[in-house]
């Protein structure tokens, strides 16, 4: 008897269609240079116009696997939603001193929580008003659907504009994270109560949270056991991929536990598994996240959105009869108003225009609104027409919100802190990309027409002109804080540009390449920081031989770890020892420069005003160091 029986009768054609759509959509968007529209929107539209006619005609047993893949994609999407929450950022925002109005306004966590409360109140009032226009089975649940937001849309927009590490960016990210967490908790509990009523079984939701705490404690213990860390590291590559297997196991533990409570709780379970993993990913976020993104966004999540389009029924909208267009118009206005009205909280800090632009960006909704509407449809608290309306609104808000945000809050790369790179060589382009990973703005000056167009096509900020022309630096609004990296093709031209910047602008922050001792001396006379490409290559090879682990950790950590200089200007900490200051746990002080002296610090080291402190850690930790040392 065969140990394994495999049937070859299964029809793979529907899966082929979905896989083709999932592959073709990003390819076509890249070829057509469509960058302003989220890929998932096109996938939903492609699923509606293409998949509906090539998939739904097949027997149900051929398409049931697609629905299973779509559900898996939905679970994975909720998991990645939890993974996007930066727990360190939330913990770092907990108030540690007496809360005053001024401190409240500057605290993203507190403002984000108040923002959510106002959103919830406004949403409920709007849902109550809608009940006079259409028949609503449950006003509260309808209001919860409208409260949702999309961190997955907000984060890329802020990252592309290098605003993630700004105070405004932190306000938006934490407000979106709080909306995600509380929205999922609220409509999971609401769905459970609608289906089962207020019974003792409601306590099972608390059991799920208890499971989260138990796994957190176990993870804290296991992560410190050397033998487990060693085995995990050894099995993390090649055929084993133990971290990926462990992640899938973690997701399924929470999903299966959720299924035993109620199927509507799966959403919360998947989200909690992602949130839990986010706690333990501080030092490994780069590679594991890349693999998990590939696993989810490579197949399962596109299947989910394509199948949303396949099952979308526009005819269901007509159940609203004569009130259809009035309802859709009021709904889109309401979805924006719910997020814009609380954004006035940011007006005092950032001004009216910027605050309102943040409200528009917060109005983008995608996976959560679709999930909440789908669960509401299964519970019978919303109709097919309302469900279809919310899917349509998800598409429209994702299209309009980022666009309106960019219009109201235009990014001016000429203003503020930026790095100007003279010369669009491969080194200059790579530098611009690396700076972008660290959320630093940069702009390349390039005079060659073909190279200029090539750089522009890559989505990198580039200015057409000759680096020897002083008017260009006037147009770019060069200020003393800006670094200028001179990387033209000619050493003589590099010297000429550096001399012009030094003599005509009295600019000090300049970096250039020195290939020979003569060039080095000429740049040195101009106080230009220099690097020798030959020496850099030799140092890299030396690091690979002598300290390979340290080198790979620094190079391959992407945006997670940085080294930064912070000037000590906080009078409250003047004269305190390092051990007396509650710095973030994911950062450390590497060195302290006081005048011409350098110190390797320890807990008893005293900090003084004017110290230049070299800090190493995650972006969240560095934000905490800057906030404390510069307060």
Mean pLDDT of the region 428-450: 82
Last residue of a domain, one of 365, 382, 408: 408
Query: Which letter does DSSP use for residue 237 in this model?
Result: S
With both helix axes pointing from N to C terminus, report the angle between 60-84 and 167-196 in degrees, rounded to the nearest 10: 130
Length of the chain: 631
* pLDDT tops 90 at residue 449: no
Structure confidence at residue 60 (pLDDT): 67
Neighbours of 521 (CB within 10 A): 11
User: In terms of domains, do 329 and 466 share one?
Assistant: no
User: In terms of domains, do 348 and 471 share one?
Assistant: no
What gap in Å lies between CA 530 and CA 510, rounded to an integer?
9
pLDDT digits (tens, 9 = 90+) for 4-26: 555 666 778 888 888 898 899 88
User: In terms of domains, do 290 and 243 share one?
Assistant: yes
| Token pair in block for residue 362 | 């917060």
Structure confidence at residue 553 (pLDDT): 60
The CATH number that applies at residue 296 is 1.20.1530.20
Query: Of the segments 58-62, 315-319, 482-486, 597-601, which one has the largest average pLDDT value?
Result: 482-486
Query: Which letter does DSSP use for residue 607 in this model?
Result: P
The values of phi and psi at residue 482, to 5°, are -80, 135
User: In terms of domains, do 362 and 449 share one?
Assistant: no
What gap in Å lies between CA 213 and CA 198, rounded to an integer?
24
- Residue 556 within a domain: no
The CATH number that applies at residue 601 is 3.30.70.1450
Strands 510-513 and 442-446: unpaired
- Residue 500 within a domain: yes
User: In terms of domains, do 142 and 66 share one?
Assistant: yes
Please state, for a pLDDT cut of 90, what percent of the chain lies above it. 10
What residues pair up with 562 in beta bridges, in sequence order?
617
Domain holding 520, by residue range, is 419-539
- Residue 352 within a domain: yes
Query: Which letter does DSSP use for residue 58 in this model?
Result: S
The pTM (predicted TM-score) of the whole model is 0.69
- Residue 581 within a domain: yes
User: In terms of domains, do 453 and 489 share one?
Assistant: yes
Indicate the burial class of 579 (C-beta count within 10 angstroms; 0-12, 13-18, 19 or more): exposed
For the chain, how many structural domains are there in total? Answer: 3
Among 289, 339, 309, which residue's Cα sits nearest to residue 154? 339
- Residue 263 within a domain: yes
pLDDT digits (tens, 9 = 90+) for 484-543: 999 888 888 989 999 999 888 888 889 998 878 888 888 888 888 888 877 777 877 877
User: In terms of domains, do 368 and 460 share one?
Assistant: no
Interacting residues of 553 by C-beta distance below 8 A, sequence separation 6+: 561
- Residue 621 within a domain: yes
What gap in Å lies between CA 532 and CA 512, rounded to an integer?
9
Neighbours of 57 (CB within 10 A): 10
Structure confidence at residue 598 (pLDDT): 80
What gap in Å lies between CA 228 and CA 556, rounded to an integer?
23
Interacting residues of 468 by C-beta distance below 8 A, sequence separation 6+: 493, 496, 497, 500
* pLDDT tops 70 at residue 284: no
Binning pLDDT at 50, 70 and 90, where does residue 558 land? very low
Alpha helices in 409-448 (DSSP H): 426-437
Neighbours of 199 (CB within 10 A): 10
- Residue 413 within a domain: no
Structure confidence at residue 438 (pLDDT): 64
- Residue 511 within a domain: yes
Q: What are the percentages of helix, strand and coil residues in the chain, rounded to 5?
A: 65, 10, 25
Last residue of a domain, one of 375, 408, 441: 408
Among 269, 253, 250, which residue's Cα sits nearest to residue 188? 269
Among 241, 243, 304, 251, which residue's Cα sits nearest to residue 275? 251
């Amino acid at each position: 008897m065969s140990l394994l029986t495999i049937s070859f009768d299964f029809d793979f054609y529907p899966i082929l269609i979905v896989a083709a759509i999932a592959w073709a959509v990003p390819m076509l968007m890249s070829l057509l240079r469509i960058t302003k529209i989220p890929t998932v929107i096109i996938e939903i539209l492609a699923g509606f116009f293409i998949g509906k006619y090539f998939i739904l005609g097949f027997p149900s047993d051929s398409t049931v696997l697609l629905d299973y893949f779509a559900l898996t994609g939905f679970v994975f999407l909720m998991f990645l939603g939890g993974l996007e929450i930066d727990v360190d950022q939330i913990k770092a925002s907990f108030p540690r001193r007496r809360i005053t109005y001024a401190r409240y306004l500057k605290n993203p966590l507190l403002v984000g929580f108040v923002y959510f409360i106002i959103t919830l109140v406004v949403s409920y009032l709007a849902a109550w008003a809608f009940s006079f226009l259409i028949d609503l089975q449950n006003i509260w649940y309808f209001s919860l659907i409208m409260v949702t937001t999309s961190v997955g849309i907000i984060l890329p927009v802020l990252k592309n504009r290098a605003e993630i590490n700004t105070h405004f960016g932190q306000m938006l990210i934490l407000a979106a994270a709080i909306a995600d967490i509380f929205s999922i908790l609220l409509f999971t509990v609401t769905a459970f109560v609608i289906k089962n009523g207020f019974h003792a079984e409601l306590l099972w939701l608390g059991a799920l949270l208890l499971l989260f705490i138990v796994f957190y404690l176990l993870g804290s213990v296991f992560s410190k056991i050397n033998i487990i860390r060693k085995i995990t590291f050894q099995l993390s590559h090649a055929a084993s991929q133990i971290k990926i297997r462990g992640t899938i196991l973690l997701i399924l533990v929470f999903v299966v536990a959720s299924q035993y409570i109620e199927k509507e709780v799966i959403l919360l379970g998947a989200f909690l598994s992602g949130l839990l993993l986010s706690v333990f990913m501080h030092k490994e976020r780069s590679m594991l996240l890349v693999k998990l993104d590939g696993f989810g966004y490579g197949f399962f999540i596109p299947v989910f959105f394509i199948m949303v389009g396949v099952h979308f029924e526009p005819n269901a909208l007509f159940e609203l009869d004569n009130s259809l267009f009035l309802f859709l118009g009021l709904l889109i206005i309401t979805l924006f108003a719910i997020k814009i009205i609380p954004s006035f909280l940011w007006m005092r800090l950032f001004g009216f225009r910027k605050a309102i632009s943040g409200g528009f960006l917060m109005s983008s909704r995608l996976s959560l609104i679709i999930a909440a509407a789908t669960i509401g449809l299964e519970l019978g608290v919303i109709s097919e027409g309302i469900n279809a309306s919310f899917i349509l609104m998800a598409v429209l808000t994702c299209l309009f919100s980022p666009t309106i945000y960019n219009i109201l809050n235009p990014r001016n790369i000429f203003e503020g802190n930026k790095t100007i790179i003279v010369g669009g060589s491969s080194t200059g382009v790579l530098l611009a990309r690396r700076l972008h990973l660290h959320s630093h703005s940069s702009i390349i000056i390039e005079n060659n027409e073909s190279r200029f167009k090539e750089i522009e096509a890559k989505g990198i900020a580039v200015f057409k002109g000759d680096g020897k022309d002083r008017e260009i630096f006037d147009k770019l609004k060069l200020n003393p804080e800006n670094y200028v990296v001179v990387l033209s093709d000619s050493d003589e031209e590099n010297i000429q540009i550096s001399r012009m910047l030094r003599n005509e602008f009295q600019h000090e922050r300049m970096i250039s390449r020195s290939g020979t001792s003569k060039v080095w001396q000429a740049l040195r006379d101009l106080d230009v920081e220099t690097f020798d490409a030959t020496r850099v290559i030799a140092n890299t090879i030396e690091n690979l031989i002598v300290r390979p682990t340290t080198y790979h950790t620094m190079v391959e950590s992407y945006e997670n770890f940085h080294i930064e200089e912070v000037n000590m200007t906080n009078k409250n900490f003047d004269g305190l020892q390092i051990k007396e200051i509650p710095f973030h746990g994911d950062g450390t002080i590497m060195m302290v420069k006081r005048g011409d002296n350098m110190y390797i610090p320890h807990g008893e080291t005293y900090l003084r005003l004017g110290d230049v402190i070299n800090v190493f850690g995650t972006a969240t930790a560095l934000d905490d160091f800057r906030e404390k040392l510069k307060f």
